[in-house]
Structure 1
Amino acid sequence: MLEPPPLCERFVLGVDVEKYSDRNVRRQLSIQRALDRLLSQAAEAAGLDRGLWECEPGGDGELAVLPDGVDLIAIVRRFVDQVELLLADHNADHSPEMRMRLRLAMHVDTVARGALGRAGQALITLSRLLGSGPVREALAGAADANLALIVSESVYRKAVLSELGGLRPGQFREVRVDLPAKRFDEMAYIYIPGHEVKPEKSSYIPASPPKPEERSRRPSAAGKSVLNIVSADTIHMPGSVFGFSEHGPNDDC
């Protein structure tokens, strides 16, 4: 009888390029190269080693399983801010046909190593969030935005509610991702750098400073992107053995 593979908790990340299939093959290849370079640069600037990520390319993006012990503030705040910064530069320097707008999704859950790759609820939930209507609509409704981030409730609880590194709950809008055909119904949270959502409206609007009488009720820096944060405050994932150690990947998970 075969022993079951280790089932471990890991942080997973998904990236998808908006309207990628609308481009011709030459432009798709150029966007792939630009995106791969941009993600590596953003990870390095955030203090992360993308070389340790287990990436599953998808043409218009990728799904990645991050190593054990990843700093949640580095990935949820600093990495996202660096992606936004690099996207802004890229889009300013390129024609509309070569500009990139990204959807990002983040989740924490279990995965296991299988004969044909990773298996587990983490990647299933990540894919549901990344392709969901709420994050697509949020990005489409913010014409001047470069990216939209959607995080699962577990990431929101573990990272955003800490309010470390400039993260604030008021920067995120709670949404319901309901996919009856997939038997998927979960709450998630959307953030667009430089934008905030008014509760009574469904679209994103540029963030503006709160009125004096609202300052006591609203989180500071709500809805604003905080770029190039350097903070000693970190939150690390529990030290489950998940295929990576400080020396790199192993075969356990």
Structure 2
Amino acid sequence: MTPKSFVSALAAADLPSVFNPWRDRCSIHDRRDAAARRRANLESVIAAALHARVETIWIARDLGYRGGRRTGVPLTDEVHLTHAAALMGGIALERATEGPAIAERTAAIIWQVLSRIGQPVMLWNVFPFHPHEADDPMSNRCHTRAEREATWPMLQALVSMLQPKRIVAIGRDAHLALDGLDIPTTAIRHPSYGGQREFIDGMFDLYGIADTPRAPELPLEPRYAAAVTCALA
């Protein structure tokens, strides 16, 4: 599978109460060609990962509505698109939305750590799309087991294409869901819900980076103030 065929396969998926950023267009925030821009962004990132022969994939649970849903690049909000472009070798990544750039707390912490690591990694999610409540497209929910099983072949295809030596599971839910992959997987605490310091420490230990003075915990975004209930069994 090539980056182009992989992104095309993603774009073909259509699931209820799920926003597919490489297929769908938000009538409120997106530009007219938003889905095409996000497809181009992801294709460029995967191609750059292949060129750089990335050895590690970081995998979280689902796309968030402030991050990959808007950019087409997992775990990356609009504020950090330029960071992603630089880390992946100076590729071109474009915004797909109108209005001011939106920040996401998790993406901010992810890219704070990546800026210290200084080496390209592939960012992904167990469930590659943005699952939301049926009556609220700007909400976050955990994907279901059926949704994960329906998209599992895409995760396998990405792993087969990149051939990583290691996978880093971000959060307990992601770690449990990735149990079926035949690749060494390291679990790191998710940075949300008070896990910022543990996430940073875990990643720095994994990459052998000396610690720095502790940054203050970033405040929770309003929609993340209550934990998202997740039952993937």
- Establish whether TM, by shorter chain, passes 0.5: no
Q: Which is greater in Rg?
A: 1
Larger fraction in strand? 1
Report 1 or 2 for greater relative contact order, CA contacts < 8 Å, sequence distance ≥ 6: 1
Q: Name the structure with the higher helix share.
A: 2
